Amino acid sequence: MPQKILVIHLAGIGDLLMGRSALAALRHTFPESRIALLTWAKSRDVARLLPSVDDRYVLEEPCSWQALWHNLTVIRALRARRFTLAINLYQVYRRIGVLKLAGLLRLIAPGQAVGRDTD
């Protein structure tokens, strides 16, 4: 049973709301696990309302050096958590998005990665 789970949901607010049931099912299946959510800053307020999630991490749109520095700090913190499982809930439609997701997973280095476009 995974002890630390990271759910990656880098999509819009509506998609995050639609993913509530998946998060609830994850919590029901792994009640003792620590569940963290990685999402965009624009979804921060919605993420705070999700009771199935223990910890929330947000990435900024990288339009400035400050946002880039913030994102690197978040990724470093995620890597330090040593997640046993990372789950990507959002489908990536373009090749560049798949490459970005692969890079993100490589930087975070979970024990196992599953979900859409994780291979």
> What confidence tens digit (pLDDT) does each residue in 2-30 have?
799 999 998 888 888 888 999 999 999 99
Reported as a single tens digit per residue, the pLDDT across 44-76 is 999 999 999 999 999 998 788 999 999 999 999
In DSSP notation, the chain reads: --SEEEEE--S-HHHHHHTHHHHHHHHHH-TTSEEEEEEEGGGHHHHHT-TT-SEEEEE--S-SHHHHHHHHHHHHHHHHH--SEEEE-S---SHHHHHHHHHHHHHH--S-EEETT--
Model confidence over 73-90: pLDDT tens digits? Answer: 999 999 999 999 999 987
Q: What share of the chain in percent tops pLDDT 90?
A: 69
